[in-house]
Amino acid sequence: MKSYILPEFKIKRDNERCIECQVCVRQCAFEVHKVSQDGSIYSENDKCVACERCVTFCPTKALTIEEYEHYIKDNANWTASVQRNIWKQAETGGVLLTGMGNPKPYPIYWDHLLLNASQVTNPSIDPLREPMELRTYLGSKPESLEVEISGGSVRLKTKVSPQLKLEVPIMFSAMSFGAISYNACEALARAATELGTYCNTGEGGLHEKLYKYADHTIVQVASGRFGVHKKYLEKAAALEIKIGQGAKPGIGGHLPGEKVGEEVSRTRMIPVGSDALSPAPHHDIYSIEDLSQLIYSLKEATEYTKPVSVKIAAVHNVAAISSGIARAGADIIAIDGFRGGTGAAPTVIRDNVGIPVELAIAAVDSRLREEGIRNRVSIVAAGGFRSSADVIKAIALGADAVYIATAALVAMGCHVCQKCYTGKCNWGIATQDPKLSKRLNPDIAAERLYNLVAAWAHEISEMLGGMGINAIESLKGNRLHLRAVGLTKEEMDVLGVKVAGAPLS
């Protein structure tokens, strides 16, 4: 069948600058750049995904990628991308697949919330000279604390549930070995260890070589139970039951057989080349009671030494669901908003299902407070955190900490081309091709991750100090430090914030 699909991008090669070194040819796994018989280099536009690998590595900066200009008669509904998708489906009959988070221009509530700062009264604190505490603990907190004082020493009598100690309120969100390369997994584990925070294995098991980072690893138990065994549960600081993911609420995951090579096969404990299917539901969980059973099954298996988290996608009824999860015995609830990323998801699901995490955090925090059970669980927010400002706003809305993943990938080199599902990631991240994954040096990638989070931590300290607060836990759920611009009354009600300029009471 003749394809009607036109290229999305156009490669512009400045022949004045090009030295025909063929770096671009070698760098592109999509085989965009080719050498012709006479030795000159040409590019096939239709294969380009705009990952910018060739542009970045061209030693003479001879390449630029531009949008392919083909005239589509001006139309607000039937845009070039809408037409392209229809042609793709008309030519294949397939479900449109994509990667990374929702790119549509839905409102980003972070950009409508402004932080407070101290002026004159309650003076701001200078974090360069004064202690600033970003440490926080995740896990179930007791209703009250009983202490015993004898002979000048104080002893805690209340038995406190196991807690995760975070030196920064930022963790690396679930990305499986399979979706991302071993080198990317190692970089995340090393950076998490150095930062005093945690990385999350996703549902792809834990490679044996990463067991040494166990104290900074959260392992996931998902519907497919890939690589879940006694050792896996032991080599973790916490366990996370994955119910849903922000990029694809209500549906499961299919890791295509192409990505299941020898190492992934061993870690997931499935044969080489077979599809790894994680269906939408855990077929043993149909109720809060069933969820509770899995939570306690994991607690029994690990003798109540590790907190158990339950990760859900932010959906319309997220507050009531979270209340159920808290009552089911979870120590942590991870809420993944609709801008959360993925290695592969149907485009229509990613772009149309779920709700923004900003609204979800506020709704869940409010609901749990109203019910008097907020202390029973920590809230971890995920889904498209772009900067330290987003993080601190999430904490002010009521989150205990956040998960970042897309930002972490970008730090390692990802250019958000959204082709993770092809396994041809030129940046060596979302691939299992040994030649490609070798491009990601774990030393450098770990350093870049460390730098990013350390920089965000410093910015958070500055913003906290500006508010006259010296501990991140004092900001948690303190929504008076947020004011809204350009939001409706209903939106502000859900967020629990006042409009900028409104008096305190």
Q: List residues binding other proteins (CB under 8 A).
A: 88-89, 91-97, 221, 223-226, 228-230, 233, 254, 256-257, 265-266, 269-271, 273-275, 277, 279, 283-284, 293, 296-298, 300-303, 346, 421-422
CB of 255 to other proteins, least distance (A): 11
DSSP conformational letter for 124: -
323-356 burial, b at 16+ Cβ within 10 Å, e below that, comes to: bbbbebbbbbbbbbbbbbbbbbbbbebbbebbbb
Structural tokens at position 217: 């690893």
CB of 334 to other proteins, least distance (A): 21
The nearer residue to other proteins, 224 or 244, going by C-beta atoms, is: 224
Q: Which helix (H) or strand (E) holds 310?
A: strand 308-313
The nearer residue to other proteins, 10 or 254, going by C-beta atoms, is: 254
The nearer residue to other proteins, 108 or 233, going by C-beta atoms, is: 233
Distance of CA 490 to the CA centre of its chain: 28
Distance CA 42, CA 56 (A): 18
The nearer residue to other proteins, 257 or 468, going by C-beta atoms, is: 257
- 375 three-state secondary structure: helix
The nearer residue to other proteins, 222 or 364, going by C-beta atoms, is: 222
Beta bridge partners of 71: none
The nearer residue to other proteins, 165 or 424, going by C-beta atoms, is: 424
367 φ, ψ to 5°? -60, -45
What are the DSSP calls for 191-257, one per residue?
Answer: HHHHHT--EE-TTS---GGGGGGGGGEEEEE-TT-TT-SHHHHHS-SEEEEE---TTSTT--EEE-G
The nearer residue to other proteins, 84 or 165, going by C-beta atoms, is: 84
Contact 409, 429 (CB under 8 A): yes
Q: Where does residue 42 rank: exposed (0-12), middle (13-18), buried (19+ CB within 10 A)?
A: exposed
CB of 14 to other proteins, least distance (A): 31
C-alpha closest to that of 210 among 192, 229, 230: 192
CB of 91 to other proteins, least distance (A): 8
The nearer residue to other proteins, 394 or 420, going by C-beta atoms, is: 420
CB of 215 to other proteins, least distance (A): 20
Structural tokens at position 208: 């044996």
- 370 three-state secondary structure: helix
The nearer residue to other proteins, 137 or 296, going by C-beta atoms, is: 296
Contact 238, 161 (CB under 8 A): no
CB of 304 to other proteins, least distance (A): 8
The 3-class SS string of 412-475 reads HCCCCCCCHHHCCCCCCCCCCCHHHHCCCCHHHHHHHHHHHHHHHHHHHHHHHHHCCCCEHHHH
Q: Scanning the structure block, which residue is given the tokens 């990317």? A: 184
Q: How far is CA 371 from CA 314, 323, 366, 368, 478, in A?
A: 20, 8, 9, 5, 18
The nearer residue to other proteins, 45 or 297, going by C-beta atoms, is: 297
CB of 290 to other proteins, least distance (A): 9
CB of 382 to other proteins, least distance (A): 25
Beta strands in 330-406 (DSSP E): 332-336, 345-346, 378-382, 401-404
Rounded to 10 deg, the angle between the 388-397 and 357-370 helix axes is 30
CB of 298 to other proteins, least distance (A): 8
Rounded to 10 deg, the angle between the 442-466 and 388-397 helix axes is 50
The nearer residue to other proteins, 129 or 230, going by C-beta atoms, is: 230
CB of 51 to other proteins, least distance (A): 16
Q: Scanning the structure block, which residue is given the tokens 């993911």? A: 245
What single-letter amino acid sits at 384?
Answer: G
CB of 20 to other proteins, least distance (A): 31
CB of 177 to other proteins, least distance (A): 15
The nearer residue to other proteins, 279 or 486, going by C-beta atoms, is: 279
